[in-house]
């Protein structure tokens, strides 16, 4: 069907060009849409209406002309069963059975590459998580990690060369507070004691760091290592050890979550390498700054910000967006013309400031650089009650807590299952359910159920003397796949490549989770409607081919999310006939 849709798109473009050329106008780009109701057809064409406006013609009359032009196209004659005009000028298109059936062979031939595009030649950097090393990763960092990692996989599916980057502050007030908190623990103080700093970090992890420092341990993180002196008065050493310790802890959390990074970038390097001062000099030289009240300001209102922003405070220190501007100039100079930042919605104000600073610096960076995916924090429910505190962290639920309470698969799927900018409640009890209420179980069970059917088929005597575990469906008679539920499933499989392309272009990884749930639902409906291990050997083989193709697409899409595709699963008592065991 992928080939059929490609050929039909070319045919539609040719027909549009023919109609537009007759009136000396430009043709719209050929696209197909999915009808809102399956009864209306398999694909919809809406181009007649905008073209009619441009040509000042009646939309239905132009739609009729477009249908006539399409019917003369060989691809339409080969792949289309019916063209029908509806409403003010919609054209509904019904594909032939052969067009729908072709997707099965296309999926099986491509395997894990189905839906993936060839190399685009584009280099993309995605910066995500970027948690400062001042405590365990919280559930917000988990949502960030799930979004960022899935987005990277999406872009890679489109042939992009993607770099995963982690940026963090290894100096400044927060690190000083971390060091002081650890030093107090080393000297025998604990939260609530007289002398315990008001702004100190109170989690149990601070006591763990202090104990390891006192034992003169060496800690290794992905980007650094440090050996403790054991001296409670060595505040600088305590700070370096604490940062290395927490970076190692973050690495363990991210490994448990199945997330890796290609590069780490330190805020301190921006100062050490002179990038912050160089950025300020560029902005001053460009005439985009002014001094007021002893502070240096940037005219960000010239670039759409609601007010001008302080760059350098009266005490000589820089506000946080200045190193951000320097960092993004460095990103661009490293050859990344496409940069995406995944951040919480509390960073919304940063977007305008950073973009304004980059334009004011006048270094050739295009407007709108970088792109942002902003996400809202999540609420965690367990036993019907909101969970707010983790003993280990002291004030919030950690990513490790969620993984320990449920599973990596559940956390990744749940955290990617809603649009990033919408509120989300993570229901721990729901994530543990082994039934259709749990969306990740529902999807994984579809894959496991198919594997069970295929295993049964592979081990059975199919009447041709072939008994074994390996099945070859290359010669299956796909023309036998004519049931309405089979047609629906094949159409859903054919949506996968375009869904990936659209989700990558729109930076919308949640679309993959939506697609998986719809694909699983379409399969479960098929499972409830038809028998697979039938006496008709050719029909059984054809249905096995469709099941194998469905399992492949489920695996491919789950892989984009970083979620496993198990071949067997146990479940709770099934609530409906659709949940019967393998036929």
CATH number of the domain to which 211 belongs: 3.40.50.620
Q: Are residues 265 and 401 in the same domain?
A: yes
Q: Are residues 455 and 514 in the same domain?
A: yes
Least Cα distance to 164 among 291, 282, 264, 268 occurs for 264
Q: Are residues 408 and 449 in the same domain?
A: no
Residue 48 lies in a domain: yes
| CA distance to 138, 176, 226, 424, per residue, from 379 (Å) | 11, 30, 36, 6
The alpha carbon of residue 226 and the mean position of all alpha carbons in its chain are separated, in whole angstroms, by: 34
The alpha carbon of residue 555 and the mean position of all alpha carbons in its chain are separated, in whole angstroms, by: 16
Q: Are residues 454 and 530 in the same domain?
A: yes
Q: Are residues 385 and 405 in the same domain?
A: yes
Number of domains, the chain: 3
Q: Say what the pLDDT of residue 391 is.
A: 56
Q: In what helix (H) or strand (E) does residue 162 lie, and over which residues does it extend?
A: strand 161-168
Q: Say what the pLDDT of residue 389 is.
A: 67
Q: Say what the pLDDT of residue 105 is.
A: 95
Hey, what are 312's tokens? 């350098």
Residue 299 DSSP class: -
Q: Are residues 405 and 261 in the same domain?
A: yes
Q: Are residues 51 and 199 in the same domain?
A: no
What domain range includes position 180? 128-271+376-432
Task: Kindly give the pairing relationship between strand 378-382 and strand 424-427.
Answer: parallel
Least Cα distance to 125 among 339, 342, 372, 370 occurs for 339
Q: Say what the pLDDT of residue 344 is.
A: 94
We report the CATH number of the domain holding residue 40 as 3.30.1360.70
Non-local (6+) Cβ contacts of 173 within 8 A are none
Residue 335 lies in a domain: no
Q: Which of helix, strand or coil describes residue 74?
A: helix
Residue 201 lies in a domain: yes
Task: Kindly give the pairing relationship between strand 123-127 and strand 338-344.
Answer: parallel
Q: Which of helix, strand or coil describes residue 23?
A: coil
Q: Are residues 145 and 202 in the same domain?
A: yes
Q: Are residues 494 and 400 in the same domain?
A: no
Residue ranges of the chain whose pLDDT lies below 50: 461-470, 573-583
Least Cα distance to 342 among 198, 232, 507 occurs for 507
Residue 138 DSSP class: B
Q: Are residues 470 and 514 in the same domain?
A: yes
Q: What is the greatest pairwise CA distance in the chain?
A: 90
Q: Which of helix, strand or coil describes residue 507?
A: coil
Task: Kindly give the pairing relationship between strand 338-344 and strand 371-375.
Answer: parallel
Q: Say what the pLDDT of residue 460 is.
A: 60
Q: Are residues 185 and 143 in the same domain?
A: yes
Strand partners, 161: 123
Least Cα distance to 494 among 11, 39, 43 occurs for 43
Q: Say what the pLDDT of residue 141 is.
A: 96
Residue 289 lies in a domain: no
Q: Say what the pLDDT of residue 26 is.
A: 77
Q: Are residues 218 and 199 in the same domain?
A: yes
- Global pTM reads 0.89
Q: Which of helix, strand or coil describes residue 392?
A: coil
Q: Say what the pLDDT of residue 16 is.
A: 87
């Amino acid at each position: 069907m992928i080939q059929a849709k490609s050929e039909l798109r070319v045919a539609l473009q040719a027909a549009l060009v023919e109609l537009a050329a007759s009136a000396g106008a430009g043709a719209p780009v050929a696209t197909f849409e999915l009808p809102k109701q399956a009864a209306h057809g398999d694909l919809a064409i809406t181009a007649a209406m905008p073209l009619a406006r441009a040509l000042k013609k009646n939309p239905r009359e132009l739609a009729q002309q477009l249908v006539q032009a399409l019917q003369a196209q060989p691809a339409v004659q080969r792949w289309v069963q019916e063209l029908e005009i509806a409403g003010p000028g919609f054209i509904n298109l019904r594909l032939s059975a052969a067009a729908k059936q072709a997707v099965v062979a296309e999926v099986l031939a491509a395997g894990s590459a189905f839906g993936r595009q060839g190399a685009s030649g584009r280099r993309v950097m995605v910066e995500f998580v970027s948690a400062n090393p001042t405590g365990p990763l919280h559930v917000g960092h988990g949502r960030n990690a799930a979004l960022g990692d899935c987005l990277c996989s999406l872009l890679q599916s489109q042939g992009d060369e993607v770099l995963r980057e982690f940026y963090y502050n290894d100096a400044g007030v927060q690190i000083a507070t971390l060091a002081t908190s650890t030093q107090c623990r080393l000297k025998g103080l604990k939260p609530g004691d007289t002398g315990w700093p008001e702004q100190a970090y109170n989690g149990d992890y601070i006591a763990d760091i202090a104990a390891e420092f006192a034992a003169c341990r060496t800690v290794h993180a992905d980007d650094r290592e440090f050996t403790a002196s054991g001296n409670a008065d060595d505040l600088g050493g305590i700070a370096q050890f604490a940062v290395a310790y927490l970076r190692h802890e973050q690495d363990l959390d991210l490994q448990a979550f199945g997330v890796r990074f290609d590069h780490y970038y330190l805020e301190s390097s921006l100062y050490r390498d002179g990038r912050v001062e160089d950025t300020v000099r560029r902005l001053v030289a460009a005439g985009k700054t002014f001094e007021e009240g002893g502070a240096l300001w940037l005219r960000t209102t010239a670039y759409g910000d609601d007010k001008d922003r302080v760059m350098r405070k009266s005490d000589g220190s820089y506000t946080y967006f200045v190193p951000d501007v320097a960092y993004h100039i460095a990103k661009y100079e490293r050859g990344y013309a496409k940069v995406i930042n995944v951040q919480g919605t509390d960073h919304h104000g940063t977007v305008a400031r950073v973009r304004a600073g980059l334009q004011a610096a006048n270094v050739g960076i295009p407007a709108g650089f970088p792109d942002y995916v902003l996400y809202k924090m999540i609420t965690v429910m367990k036993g019907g009650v909101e969970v707010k505190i983790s003993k280990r962290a002291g004030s919030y639920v950690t990513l490790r807590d969620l993984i320990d309470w449920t599973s990596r698969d559940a956390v990744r799927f749940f955290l990617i299952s809603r649009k990033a900018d919408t509120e989300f409640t993570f229901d721990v009890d729901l994530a543990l359910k082994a039934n259709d209420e749990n969306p990740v179980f529902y999807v994984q069970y579809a894959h496991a159920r198919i594997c069970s059917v295929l295993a049964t088929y592979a081990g059975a005597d199919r009447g041709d003397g072939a008994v074994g575990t390996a099945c070859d469906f290359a010669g299956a008679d796909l023309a036998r796949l004519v049931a309405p539920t089979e047609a629906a499933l094949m159409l859903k499989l054919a949506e996968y490549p375009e869904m990936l392309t659209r989700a990558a272009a729109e930076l919308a990884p949640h679309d993959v989770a939506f697609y998986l749930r719809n694909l699983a639902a379409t399969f479960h409906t098929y499972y409830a409607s038809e028998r697979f291990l039938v006496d008709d050997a050719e029909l059984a083989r054809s249905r096995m081919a469709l099941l194998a193709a469905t399992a492949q697409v489920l695996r491919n899409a789950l892989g984009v999310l970083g979620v496993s595709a198990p071949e067997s699963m146990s479940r709770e008592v099934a609530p409906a006939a659709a949940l019967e065991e393998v036929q």
